[in-house]
Amino acid sequence: MTSPSLVGSAIFTLPVRVYYEDTDAGGVVYYANYLRFLERARTEWLRRLGFSQSQLMAQNIAFAARSISAEYLKPARLDDELIVASTIESLGRAQVVFAQRVERGEELLLDAKIRVACFDPLRGKATAMPKDIYEKFKALL
């Protein structure tokens, strides 16, 4: 079921333009490419909070999608200007659940929830996220 609004108190938005490479033979955004848009928004939000992926990798910290639930409601098409809106729905020491939406103007195109786990890529095991990241996420709830 689609939620009418994002639940968190802090919403991060990222504009995305649909390019030819994002579309399928029918001229609409290929379903898997929406996941790329959502990933970019989470990555840019983390960067805005002061944490780049290269900095985290140097500390043996990475984030990976653990589960996703997405409802595709309307298609996006070539040259559309989209907004990816993201908020934090819940937070644990080693994982965070994001509520994310893709919108075109006032139209909701995709509604998703993504559970992201923090892990140590060298050991291949879950780990608690760094305290500074956790605290910044917590402040956004």
- What are the b/e assignments for 57-84, b being 16+ CB within 10 Å? eeeebebeeeeeebeeeebbeeebebbb
Compute CA distances 104 → 46, 81, 98, whole Å. 23, 6, 20
Q: Which domains does the chain have, with CATH numbers?
A: 12-140 (3.10.129.10)
Q: What is the pLDDT along the chain (141 residues), one digit of tens a residue?
A: 334 455 555 999 999 999 999 999 999 999 999 999 999 999 999 999 999 999 999 999 999 999 999 999 999 999 999 999 999 999 999 999 999 999 999 999 999 999 999 999 999 999 999 999 999 999 998
State the Cα angle at 141 between 53 and 128, rounded to 5°. Answer: 45
pTM over 0.85: yes
Active site residue 24: yes
Pick the catalytic residue: 24, 79, 111, 120? 24
Q: What tokens appear for 4 in the block?
A: 């009418």
